[in-house]
Amino acid sequence: MDTPSEPGQPTRLLFLGEENLADGFRLIGFEAHPNPSPAQVEQILRQLQHTHDKAFVLVDEALMREDIPQLKRVRREGGRILVMAVPSLQGPTALSSDVAERLAALFGTATLRSE
């Protein structure tokens, strides 16, 4: 039987995304998973849920737009696992998140673009 994580257990730091970003996150102490497939992302998030680990997970924007059921579930439920998107180093920044969608609804999409 799994037991919930202890209050003093450290939060895991994970990066899932582009290889060129993964190197930088690895240097600052993140567990980096470069260029994971949607199936690999699903498996990593399921394992975090199963082990009851606390985690801060950065996901690149391309993966955030994929149809990954466990990613959607973790984002919807909140709790021990916090997921945030990071933009690609190439191209315009267009983050998609619940907060970004709410801001776009309030202020228009032009306010969220980085040029």
Question: What average pLDDT score do residues 20-42 get?
Answer: 95
Helix (H, G, I), strand (E, B) or coil at 61: helix
Residue 5 lies in a domain: no
Asked, for residue 31, whether it belongs to a domain, the answer is: yes
Global pTM?
Answer: 0.74
Does some domain include residue 7? no
The domain in which residue 39 lies consists of: 12-112
Give the count of domains, the chain: 1
Whole-number Å distance between alpha carbons of 28 and 41: 21
Q: Would you state the structure tokens that stand for residue 105, as one six-digit string?
A: 């609804």
Judge contact between 96 and 85, C-beta under 8 A.
Answer: yes
Please tell me the distance from the alpha carbon of residue 19 to that of residue 21, in angstroms, as a whole number.
5
CATH number reported for the structural domain that contains residue 41 in this entry? 3.40.50.10580
Express each pLDDT in 45-102 by its tens digit: 999 999 999 999 999 988 998 999 999 999 988 789 999 998 887 766 655 566 666 6
Whole-number pLDDT of residue 2: 47
Residue 6 lies in a domain: no
